[in-house]
Amino acid sequence: MVILDRQEECDVRAVVWWSVVAVLTVVGGAGSALGQAYASRVPLPAGIPTIEIWKGERRMQLRQGDEVLREFRISLGRAPKYPKELRGDLRTPVGRYFITGKKQSRFHRFLGLNYPNVEDAERGYARGLLDAAQWADIYLAGLRGDAPSAHTVLGGWIGIHGYGHRPYMQVDWTEGCIAVSNEDAEYLYEELAIGTPVVIHE
């Protein structure tokens, strides 16, 4: 096992970054657009369906531009305040994510999100929670549109899902996911494509 000091880790990050730049330059417009769409400060493309969540209001909307297509009642992680930072903190993330996959689950339907995203990884690296290789894995997963590793201290397997066989409870009960009724989970599963943006506000 090779142990890198902090300067060497920074060098690894720089190599990964410039490798990504080189790849995006080669593949041209499509790769560049993907990288730009992932950056949190770039506006969401107009006219595409987007999920927007306000944690404090327990409210979720499916929007297309300024039009609200449907609104949902939600439950959050059992520690609903503040952004998710660590595996097991029971918090729901805050930030800009996208749907990475859809599957049947014990909670009826599950739409996975790309938590941790690049910004989560940056914060984790700055705090010494991730090494350079873990940061790079998350960064590159984001550029590919894949689900990031759930095996770092930041946690993972966050998504939107139904209640499964549970009765509806007007409380926050998940481990960090966003829960909706089984009917709403079925609707979202059918209507939303992989890659759909999901914006989560505190």
Confidence of residue 130 (pLDDT cuts 50, 70, 90): very high
Confidence of residue 17 (pLDDT cuts 50, 70, 90): low
Q: Which domains does the chain have, with CATH numbers?
A: 6-201 (2.40.440.10)
User: In angstroms, what CA-CA distances link 60 with 16, 73, 178, 179?
Assistant: 36, 7, 9, 10
The reported pLDDT for the residue numbered 22 is 45
Instruction: Say yes or no to pLDDT of 117 above 70.
Output: yes
Q: How confident is the prediction for the chain on average, in pLDDT?
A: 85
Give 44's DSSP letter. Answer: P
Which residues are bridge partners to 75 per DSSP?
Answer: 179
* 82-91 residue pLDDT tens: 999 999 999 9
Give 2's DSSP letter. Answer: -
* 134-151 residue pLDDT tens: 999 999 999 999 999 999
Q: Which of 34-43, 157-166, 177-186 has the lowest mean pLDDT?
A: 34-43
Q: Which of 139, 136, 94, 132 is nearest to 118 (CA)?
A: 139
